[in-house]
Every structure is written in C-alpha cells, then in structure tokens.
Structure 1
C-alpha cells in the first residue's frame, strides 16, 4: 500500500494512493484515511478502517504525511563507500543529527538554494517511518515497528553544514527534505536484503548504491535511539546516502537553479525535485 499526505478542507490527512505518481497525476486517486495526527495515534487501526471516497490526485495538494511534532532523525556516513569517499573512518556508532519537520516537502516542490550557498548537494536516501512506540527496544522489535519507507533526498547546504562540527543548519534549509509516497513495509521487505538506490541530476547518474552497503541497519539504529528517547508513531529515520555526492568531486558539483534531481529507489519509486533560486516562490 502507498500512503501520502494531502490537504482536505485546509487540514493535512493521510490517504491511500492508487496509481503511480512517477507517471503523472492522470488516473491516480487518493482515498482519505484520517487526519495526520489521528492516523499516527493508531496507524494499525487507521489502516484497518474503511477509507473515505476517492478523490482525483490532480485535485489535491500533496504534503508530507508526517505529524508536526514528529522527530526526523538522520544518519550520516551510513554507507561504507560514502564514508570512504569523504575520507572518514567507518564510525563506531551511528552519526545522528536532526531535521525539523518544517524542512520537509514532497516530490515536485522546488527546493531553493539558500542565499549564501553556491548550490545544494544531493543525498539520495530511504526514510523509515516508525509505526509503534519504541522504548528500550531490541533491534528485531524496532525493525518490526517500521510502518513503511519512502524515497528521500537530504538536500544539504554544504557551506552552512561546515561552519561548525554540528550539522543542523546545513541540514534544515527550506523545503530541502522532499519525501516520496510511503510504501508499507510488507511491500518493501527488509533493507538488509538489498534495495538499489540511484540519484540522477538532469538525467545523469550520480549515485548508484545498495542498502546492503549500510553500516548500521534500520532496526539497529532505532534500537539505539530508543534507549535514550522514546520513539513515537510518525517519527522518521533517514537512513543515510551512498557514495557519489557532489562536494567530494573535482571540481565540486552542486545543484543550482534550473537543475532537476531525481532519487529512484527500487520498490519505492522516483522522487523528483526541481532546484530554484533563493528568492523564488514556492510552486509545485
């Protein structure tokens, strides 16, 4: 099952998606399930209920299917080849940092280059959505609590990121965290078995990785986090990017206005994001 966030009567809802947004909105429909907060209060119950009447996908505004109070926790340097290309040692523990939900967006929404940046860097990733409370959970329990996954792009303002050893500023630019539709875990399987992840810029392949190269797998990371803070349904884990980012290239290659970046993940679909200048208005 595919789930998306949509605006209905001015409120964000979680809805079932029938159709393939990769091929456009024609023929696709959304079936409203529950308002976002109500959905994540009990995802299993929400999914078991009868959805509302279908609405043509072209008639709704898409938004991230994430509650405003969600924690978005990201893993840095989580692919062996990516750590190596940046001349970093394989970390002993997951390198974790946070995004605010205000930085999230969806496919098709332009991402602006911040005023002080030469461009944005791409980081094609997979996001995992927590579907049940987790506190001091073991890895198997944590992995089983994942409701589903989506393609994600952790677009990064490298200058801001490198001002200090803390990455928060460079990882929270406006609309720099686009998410694709959430595909439920039963249709995705275990990331340890391997999903291919590719990123393209203006059609040119720049990343081609596989989740088998992850250093810390989803259950392991969620388990670690749950030993410090209680994870709640709707929290999101961004699992890291494979090798091929722009800043390590010679010369560095960053995304500028007019570029289009696509993250294509096996079983999850393609997430497309156009890049605009810092003063551009938000348009789909």
Structure 2
C-alpha cells in the first residue's frame, strides 16, 4: 500500500495513493498515533477519491519527527571518497523544515557552486522504540520511500559537523511511503539509481549497505526513544558529484531523478532564487 500526505484546509492528512486518485484516511497526527491500525482501516476504506490536481502534497511526517541521516553507509561510496568504512554509523540530523516532496523546485543556497545529489532509501518508524534488539527494530519499520539527500557541499565542509550543508531549504525531497510488507528487507537488495537531465549518475544496490536499518534503529534506540513518524535515511551509493573530475553539481534548470526499485521515482527540479519563496 502507498500513502502520501496532502493539505486539506490547512490540516495535514494522510491519503491512500491509488491508481484512480487519493483517498484521505486520517490526519497526520491521528495516523502516526496508530499507524498499524490506520493501515488496516485503509485496506478496506472507500469513498470519493481526490485527484492529484486538486491536492497539494506535503511531507509525510509529523512536525515533531526526527530525521536521522546516515553518512558513508555504502561500501563503494565510502571508498570513492577515500574513507575507511566506519566502526559505527555516521549519524547526522535533518530538520523537518528542510523536507519536501516530488516535483517541488529546490533553490540553490547562496555561495554554493551547486547542490550534490544523494539517492537514498528512507525508512519510517511506526512504533515507539527504546533499547530494541535488531529483530524488534526490524519489526518497528512501517514503510519506506525514495529520498534525495541534496547537499550543499561548501557549507557541509565548513566544520566537522555536517548539519548546515544538510539542511538547505527544501533540500530533502521524499516520495510516497510504501508499506514494509510490499518492500521486504533492504538486505535482499533494491536497485538505487539517480539520473541528472536523463544521464545516469548513480547505480547501486542496498546489498552494499554497511549498516542495516535494523542495526541503525537498534543503536539509536539504545540512547533515545524513537517515535512513530521518525525517519532513518540510510545513505547513498557511489556516484555523487563532488568526487568527480571535474566536480559535477546541480545548477538552476537541472532535473534530478531518484529511482528505487519497488518505491518509485522521485523527480526534483533545481530552481533559482524564486524557488525559495515559501521555504
């Protein structure tokens, strides 16, 4: 089953994504209060579907969500940057204010040569999780989506902490959520591809992940409680722009697509200063 979030009268709602339209199920707050229960209700829910044209899609997570991103989590990506695979996952945070959805233009940050692409699988936590072992952590995953961890490399490298370069306006677009029962385990392998203006620049597979989603959730939950709607963004495969000779960055007018097996395709245009409006 696939879900997106839409704005209805100023209130974020979760809608089931069907071939013939969108069926509102619950408000985002209600949905994440009982994700498993609302999923069961959504299986048999009926009603008048809304068309995509009459809905504004918005990020799927509640405003209170934490977004935990993982750096250097594909063996080939760590190698292309000259890094030794870390002993523990490199975890940094994104704020929900940086999130966006497919089709929304991302403005170039001031002082940057451009943005770098990072195709990733995002996992959504469906229950409260504290001090979980890996089996419990795996069971806590409600679903997955495409994600593009668009990065302002100049800002990222100003300090040892990556926060600034990973939170540019609208720089975290995500696709529809696909429930975990339809996706299966990332360890079984999902193909992850990125295209810039139609040219393939990344082609990896989640079998190359260093740290699995259950491993990451288990580690995080040993320190803090994860809540429904929290997100784990699992890392990117090799092929990013900054390691190329010469470096290749996304500029105004470019379009970047992230295509992930079983999850779909996320399309993001890169805009100029006017794309910052409403950020």
- Could you tell me which runs of 5 or more consecutive residues in structure 2 were left unpaired when the two chains were aligned: none
TM-score by length of 1: 0.95
Q: Which runs of 4+ in 1 moved over 3 A?
A: 50-53, 278-283
After superposition, what is the alpha-carbon deviation per residue over 1:62-84, rounded to whole angstroms, capped at 9, x for unaligned?
01110000000000000000000
**1:58–1:279 distance in 2 versus 1, CA, 3 Å:** closer
Residue 280 of structure 1, CA deviation: 3.2
Decide whether the 8 Å contact of 2:125 with 2:226 is kept in 1: yes
Decide whether the 8 Å contact of 2:106 with 2:275 is kept in 1: no
Q: Equivalents in 2 of 1:278, 1:261: separation in Å?
A: 18
- Give 1:232's aligned residue: 227
- Give 1:272's aligned residue: 267
Q: Residue 133 of structure 1: SS of its match in structure 2?
A: coil
After superposition, what is the alpha-carbon deviation per residue over 1:88-137, rounded to whole angstroms, capped at 9, x for unaligned?
00100000000000000000000111011010000000000001110000
User: Does 2:216 match 1:217?
Assistant: no
- Give 2:154's aligned residue: 159
- Give 1:22's aligned residue: none
The within-5 A match list for 1:3-18 is: 3-18=3-18
After superposition, what is the alpha-carbon deviation per residue over 1:223-246, rounded to whole angstroms, capped at 9, x for unaligned?
000000000010000000000000
Residue 278 of structure 1, CA deviation: 3.2
Decide whether the 8 Å contact of 2:102 with 2:266 is kept in 1: yes
Decide whether the 8 Å contact of 1:33 with 1:51 is kept in 2: no
User: Does 2:183 match 1:191?
Assistant: no
Residue 45 of structure 1, CA deviation: 1.6
User: Does 2:197 match 1:205?
Assistant: no
Q: Equivalents in 1 of 2:4, 2:236: separation in Å?
A: 23
> What RMSD over aligned residues (CA atoms) do the two structures have, in Å?
1.1
- Could you tell me which runs of 5 or more consecutive residues in structure 1 were left unpaired when the two chains were aligned: 20-27
- Give 1:144's aligned residue: 139
Q: Residue 69 of structure 2: SS of its match in structure 1?
A: strand
TM-score by length of 2: 0.96
Q: Equivalents in 2 of 1:79, 1:46: separation in Å?
A: 34
- Give 1:117's aligned residue: 112
Residue 52 of structure 1, CA deviation: 5.1
Residue 57 of structure 1, CA deviation: 1.6
Q: Which of the numbers 69, 85, 91 marks the counterpart of 2:64?
A: 69
